Amino acid sequence: MFANALWVMSGTALLGLASGVLGVFALLRRRALMGDVLAHAALPGIVLAYMVTSAKAAGPLLVGAAATGVLGVLAMLAITRHSRLKEDSAMSLVLTVFFGLGIMLLGVVQRMPGGNQSGLDKYLFGQAAAIVPSDVRLITLIAALLCLMALLFYKEFKLLAFDPGFGAGLGFPMTALDLLLNLGIVVAVVIGLEAVGVVLMAALLTTPAVTARYWTNRLSVMLPLAGLFGALSGVAGTLASQVGPRMPTGPLIVLAASLFFFVSLLAAPQRGLLARLVRFLRTRARTRRSRLLEALYDLAEEAACPQTLAAASPEALSRRTGVPVGAVRRHLARLSREGLVDRVPAPAGLAGADAWKLTAAGVAEAYPLVREERLHLVCRMHEADLDGVQWDAGGRLVAAPETLRQLEALLVQHGMQPRLHPGDGA
């Protein structure tokens, strides 16, 4: 029992590895569902091979599946090239018509003398528990060949995935390469059908690749990573299926792969949802802080005498900046810990119980922000007369010294130069 599980595990792991690697190219070619299509398109080939040889030997079935798979790919190419139908329609057409044909042929097989569906119905859901050592040897051989193919044609497949037009311009036979890649997918599908079945083979060709995409922007990293996720899914699914007697291995492998995807979707460092949330919150906090400092600075400036810096209640600041009152209070508390704002007794007639004003350090902190903001405004007003003004990733103004002087002059001309300099104030 245990030895058998080890065989099954190595078989599914290798399967996951090979389909993960191939799936990357399919994904980047925007054909993530190609595995699904080819898995369905293989059915008539498998049934025909069975009808001709009356045996369930892996060899002929593989040849039959590959034959109809290639036919399907050619049909897809013809449809997209010679009509205005798009890839998705071509894929759906091939999938349904070929699968329908397979179902018809299955009906014929059932009526053949001695013919029954046994073995062939496993095609739909797979039966990993039936993997025997000779199967594993076959899977190993084919998985190794597929990975070797990906390695040998790395550069060509990369071109195919990112810029087929450029590849064709360089003189590479892109159509032939496309066929080769799809042939590889067909082969992976066929060896996978026995273990995980038709739908779930589609998952092994899609999910690990999508998962790997979350962790890297480099193809050379993404390929081994997708292989790793595929292999891990195979191992985890096989282990999970040992828990209960009725647990099907194929679907559990897919669920394991989906779990890896889900975790990556949430927690991947750059593209994950959590990372994006953190980035969003940080940016928002930075923006709100700047807006509050700017608003307080503007208030102080509006107050005629620079020595009595104007104060404002959180409610007034919220109205002025559009930042919710609760957030204004939190930011004011933090700014006061930094020594940038001071709480002052609310002047008579001011709404709200508390009021805040900038400290001298606060003025120093706000001054460059305000200046930047006003330069930005002036810049927008005179966009046509200025050249070479840019903002860097952090929102800082980048301009030649000449242009900067021009901008400063414009600020004064509009009466917008910040009047409170660092060092002024209380």
* Choices 12-20, 26-34, 289-297, 367-375; region in contact with other proteins by CB under 8 A: 26-34
Q: What percentage of the chain's residues is helix, strand, coil (to nearest 5)?
A: 75, 5, 25
Q: Residue 222 or residue 309: which is nearer to other proteins going by CB?
A: 222
Q: Hey, which bits of 176-330 come out as E strands?
A: none
Among 202, 225, 231, 299, binds other proteins (CB under 8 A): 202
The residue with tokens 């900067």 is 404
- Rounded CA-CA distance 179/70 in Å is 7
User: From residue 113 to residue 152, what is the string marking binding to other proteins with x (rule CB under 8 A)?
Assistant: --------x--xx---------------------------
Q: Residue 200 or residue 312: which is nearer to other proteins going by CB?
A: 200
φ/ψ of 398, rounded to 5, equals: -120, 115
Max CA pair span of the chain: 105
- Is residue 82 involved in binding other proteins (CB under 8 A)? yes
Beta carbon of residue 291, minimum distance to other proteins (angstroms, whole number): 27
- Is residue 200 involved in binding other proteins (CB under 8 A)? yes
Q: Are 306 and 291 in contact (CB under 8 A)?
A: no
- Rounded CA-CA distance 302/415 in Å is 13
Beta carbon of residue 168, minimum distance to other proteins (angstroms, whole number): 22
* Choices 100-108, 156-164, 168-176, 392-400; region in contact with other proteins by CB under 8 A: 100-108
The residue with tokens 């953190």 is 278
Beta carbon of residue 414, minimum distance to other proteins (angstroms, whole number): 35
Report the site for other proteins in 258-287 (rule: CB under 8 A): 258, 261, 265, 271, 273
Collapsing DSSP states into helix, strand and coil, what is residue 128? helix
Give me the DSSP letters along 230-244.
HHHHHHHHHHHHTTS
Among 53, 54, 80, 89, binds other proteins (CB under 8 A): 89
- Is residue 255 involved in binding other proteins (CB under 8 A)? yes
Among 1, 84, 217, 393, binds other proteins (CB under 8 A): 84
414, two tokens: 């509009």
Question: If binding means CB under 8 A, how many residues of this protein chain bind other proteins?
Answer: 58
- Is residue 333 involved in binding other proteins (CB under 8 A)? no
Residue 390: its H or E element: strand 390-391
Q: Are 41 and 99 in contact (CB under 8 A)?
A: yes
- Is residue 218 involved in binding other proteins (CB under 8 A)? no
- Is residue 236 involved in binding other proteins (CB under 8 A)? no
Give me the DSSP letters along 311-351.
-B-HHHHHHHH---HHHHHHHHHHHHHTTSEEEEEPPTT-S
Amino acid at 126: G
Q: Residue 33 or residue 332: which is nearer to other proteins going by CB?
A: 33
Q: Which residues contact 181 (CB under 8 A, 6 or more apart)?
A: 22, 25, 26, 29, 157, 160
Q: Binding residues for other proteins, per CB under 8 A?
A: 27, 30-33, 35-36, 79, 82-89, 91-93, 95-97, 99-108, 111, 121, 124-125, 199-200, 202-203, 206-207, 209-210, 244, 246-248, 250-252, 254-255, 258, 261, 265, 271, 273
